[in-house]
Amino acid sequence: MSRPRRAARPRRVTVEACAKLNLGLRVGPRRADGYHEIATFFQSVSLADTLNAAPARRGFSLRIVYEDAALRRAVGQIPGPAGLRRKVARARGPATRWGGRSIGPALERVPAGAGNLVLRAARLVARSTGLERGTRFTLIKRIPTRSGLGGGSADAAAAIVALDRLFALRLGGARRMALAVRLGSDVPFALRGGTALGLGRGERLIPVRLAAPFRALIAVPRWRVSTARAFNQIDLKNLGLTGWASNLRFVQKLTARRLKPDRALGLGNTMERALGARRSDFLSLRARLRAVGIRNPLMTGSGSAVFGLIESRTSFAEVARRFKGDEPLFAVRSLGLGQRVVSR
Ligand code: C5P
């Protein structure tokens, strides 16, 4: 008699957790639960954090390693996986300099303690499944934090997937999504990845097919935006009510065919009008991106990162060389998935 088969448990799981761009983002009315209706096209891109997870007897621990993945403007190269500048600084370590430039602005520290989204996700998975074993996490952080690129959400989604694999929890898609939405409005998309229309508070996802893959350049200012404050500004200025019904019709129309990213950008980003005193810094960055040939630079999420599409015959290195400003620049391409999982 054969014994029931048990799912193999890997000794270690590695998840590549991709950043996202919002190809257009419209904020609508505030709901009774305090969240806002939104309409956005989420797109996974190739800039990614790496989360390693290994089993421990009890408790969850997290070590963070920062890695600078920005374009090397001085030598005009796009770093490939092997060319990345590794291990720039440890969490809580001293500010490390690279080639005379601080890694500071793009790689601002994230909380390494209990507030980190990896640990919050792990505790949520443990509570909802009764998991008693622990996990040692190592996070290689490359996605600039608090910049609208969805790095924290990507890490949280990666932690759910890593624990599911590591302990053969068999969560299934629906349960993973239910856990994700409790961690943040962008976490469901981080789990799903690819290209999707996001409705509701961002958790209602309708998969969309891109007309063709694309490349984009992202600039990340030193200043940051508080997402909650940006939503409040939108309420104060009544920005969410103007034209909401026609915005919904516009996004529905775009999903009827394969999505052309430049059409989606035509949606604009409501958050660009909620910047207050930072508006002039944003306008300056947008103008400097236009000056190097980027046609329609747009803020992603609630900012502060601004991105634009780069045509296939244009060289990233050349654009980065001509760009006037000290914002770190990132070269990315669109991806059909938000995560890549390797178990050993
Ligand atoms: O869900 P998340 O934690 O990312 O939300 C961060 C903040 O943004 C919260 O304060 C929330 O009220 C606000 N928010 C919102 N409408 C959304 C998403 C977030 O008002 N659709």
The letter for the amino acid at 305 is A
Report if residue 4 sits inside a domain: no
252 vs 248: CA distance, rounded Å: 6
Report if residue 119 sits inside a domain: yes
Report if residue 152 sits inside a domain: yes
- Return averaged pLDDT per consecutive 10 residues of the chain, 344 residues in all: 63 97 96 96 98 96 94 46 36 32 57 91 98 97 95 98 97 97 98 98 97 96 92 90 90 94 96 93 97 96 96 91 94 96 89
197 vs 252: CA distance, rounded Å: 9
Three-state SS for 224-290 is: CCCHHHHHHHHHHCCCCCCCHHHHHHHHHHHHCCCECHHHHHCCCEHHHHCCHHHHHHHHHHHHHHH
Q: What is the pLDDT of residue 315?
A: 92
Report if residue 334 sits inside a domain: yes
Quick: pLDDT tens for 271-307: 999 998 899 999 999 999 999 999 999 999 999 999 9
Report if residue 268 sits inside a domain: yes
Count other C-beta atoms under 10 Å from residue 1's C-beta.
Answer: 2
Per the structure, the count of domains in the chain is 1
Report if residue 272 sits inside a domain: yes
The parent domain of residue 141 ranges over: 10-344
Query: Residue 335: helix, strand or coil by DSSP?
Result: coil
Q: Are 91 and 168 in contact (CB under 8 A)?
A: no
For every residue of 154-217, DSSP letters joined together read: HHHHHHHHHHHHHTT---HHHHHHHHHHHH-TTHHHHHH-SEEEEETTTTEEEE--BSS--EEE
Output the CA 241–ligand 1 centroid distance in Å: 17
20 has catalytic annotation:
yes
- The protein residue whose alpha carbon is closest to atom 15 in ligand 1 is 35
Report if residue 3 sits inside a domain: no
Which residues have CB under 6 Å of ligand 1?
Answer: 34-36, 38, 184-186, 201-202, 227-228, 231
Report if residue 5 sits inside a domain: no
Q: What is the CATH number of the domain that holds 183?
A: 3.30.230.10
Q: What is the pTM of this model?
A: 0.89
Output the CA 31–ligand 1 centroid distance in Å: 11
Q: Point out the catalytic residue in the list 68, 186, 235, 260.
A: 186
